[in-house]
Amino acid sequence: MKIPSVIPVLSVDDLETAIGFYEHLGFRNEFSIPGQTGRIVHAHLRNGDSVAFLGRLDVSHYTGRERAEVLEKSNASERGLGITMILQVDNLASVYDFVRERKLKVLAEPADEYYGDRVFFFLDPYGYEWKISQPVAGH
């Protein structure tokens, strides 16, 4: 299996809960790595040929460095500023319904774009912005 060149690492406070959330978006947990306490410190998620890693906020390669300290003190809405994760799906409506059921913040309602996709944007529970995209039939 080919490993992508760029892999995002999303820092979250509760990996077990986050894995369940991202599974609802179509990712599967390929493997997780427990730390010394037995709690998961890393998860490797895959959706088709896309990969995302999850890491715990309190376990960092940057311990003692300025970026790690800022991240640990941040609230969820600040974590993903400037980054948008784009996820192509087969059923945008079901993802939209899931987001609404979870009472997550929808940043842009579903709309057909000029390039042939129907899209909407939302913030996940961990502060990361997602663009959900589905090709519109006939384009």
Question: 104, 99, 109: which is closest to 127 by C-alpha?
Answer: 104
Mean pLDDT of 122-127: 94
Q: How many CB atoms are located within 10 Å of the residue 100 CB? A: 11
pLDDT at 63: 55
Confidence at 2, pLDDT banded by 50, 70, 90 = low
Distance CA 122, CA 109 (A): 9
92 pLDDT above the threshold of 70? yes
Say if residue 1's pLDDT is above 80.
no
Q: Which of 9, 26, 1, 18 is nearest to 89 (CA)?
A: 26
Whether 3 has a pLDDT exceeding 90, the answer reads: no
Token representation of residue 92: 């945008």
- Beta-bridge partners for 69: none
Sorted by where each starts, the structural domains of the chain and their CATH numbers stand as 1-74 (3.10.180.10), 79-139 (3.30.720.110)
CA dihedral 43, 68, 79, 27 (to 10 degrees): -10
> Stretch 21-34: mean pLDDT, rounded?
96
What is the model's pTM? 0.85
Torsion region of 138: left, alpha or beta (phi above 0 gives left; psi -120 to 50 gives alpha): left
